[in-house]
């Protein structure tokens, strides 16, 4: 394997790890936000069945920069809506 290919493979691996860590923070926030939103709107104290973490949408200027907080807001909104429906 030539040196440029080795560097390229290393760069791709590093980028992949970075994106995975970002996704994990987003999904952790989504999970926590969903549970809290669902419990608040449904009045239940039980743990709801949380849906799969969605793909992270594009951010707008008003969205938080932190991945966890961004996921939390999206999860909270979805959990609140689902909790109202029962």
Q: State how far the Cα of 17 lies from the Cα of 53, in Å rounded to an integer.
A: 18
Q: Please give the pLDDT value at position 52.
A: 95
Q: What is the pTM of this model?
A: 0.74
Q: Please give the pLDDT value at position 17.
A: 47
* Ordered per-residue pLDDT tens for the chain, 86 residues: 555 665 555 545 544 444 466 789 999 999 999 999 999 999 988 889 999 999 998 999 999 899 999 999 999 999 999 999 87
Give the CA distances from residue 28 to residues 11, 66, 73, in Å, rounded to whole numbers and listed in that order. 26, 12, 11
Q: Please give the pLDDT value at position 50.
A: 95
At 31, is the secondary structure helix, strand, or coil?
helix
């Amino acid at each position: 394997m030539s040196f440029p290919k080795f560097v390229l493979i290393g760069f791709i691996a590093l980028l992949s790890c970075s994106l995975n860590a970002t996704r994990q923070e987003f999904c952790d926030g989504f999970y926590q936000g969903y549970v809290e939103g669902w419990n608040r709107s449904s009045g239940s104290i039980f743990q709801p069945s949380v849906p799969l973490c969605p793909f992270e949408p594009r951010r707008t200027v008003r969205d938080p920069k932190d991945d966890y907080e961004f996921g939390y807001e999206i999860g909270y909104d979805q959990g609140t809506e689902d909790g109202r429906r029962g």
